[in-house]
A = this chain, B = another copy of it.
């Protein structure tokens, strides 16, 4: 049985829970509250020395960290994995875009606004730039989606799962996506995929 260490409010965790549901895989969910430091305990650091959820424990006891690496592992050999060398690279391109140019702005702004009661002086000063870079990421996505239903290869796959998670939570970070009709239409297509589950779903 797979064991997923996760925090239900995490979009990075939701990526993994969504793919697990669409693959029909059952798993044991172990919640770790990142707001209470539960991913920085010695017990958890022995599982993932970087102290982050999601972390997936495989049947043999091996632990995998980094949401997008976990997605890649789970999808291998299934219809959710990219099919060609070029599509594998393009899928990874969008997954690295998500972790470098999207999540640090959209997810972090959402975390600050949604979970913190007060921002630090650094966060206060940083927030406008985070918002601007988040909107820039949505601009790149909007342009790419203008003539494509999904991010890679014309079909739903790992890049869509990776980008959907925090895109669909952007409102909680104060982002207004009215000017991104392609992104909105794509999010509706993702949510209409067979086996789609919302963020509070576990199985």
Contact = CB atoms under 8 A, between A and B. Distances in A.
Interface string A136-150: 000010011000000
Interface in A81-107: 85-86, 88-90, 92-93, 95-97, 99-101, 103-104
A93 B63 CA distance: 11
B93 A69 contact: yes
A85 B100 contact: no
Interface stretch (A70-78, A174-182, A184-192): A70-78
Given A49-B143, A125-B125, A144-B49, A86 B66 contact: no
Contacts of A37: none
B66 A96 contact: yes
B49 A64 contact: no
- Which of A65, A69, A72, A73 is the most central at the interface, judged by chain B CB atoms within 10 Å of its CB? A69
- Secondary structure call for the A interface: helix
Interface in A107-123: 121-122
A104 B104 CA distance: 10
Contacts of A129: 122
Nearest to A99: B100
A160 to B, nearest CB: 16
Given A100-B100, A125-B125, A126-B126, A66 B92 contact: yes
A126 B126 CA distance: 9
Contact of A50 (B67, B89, B97): B97
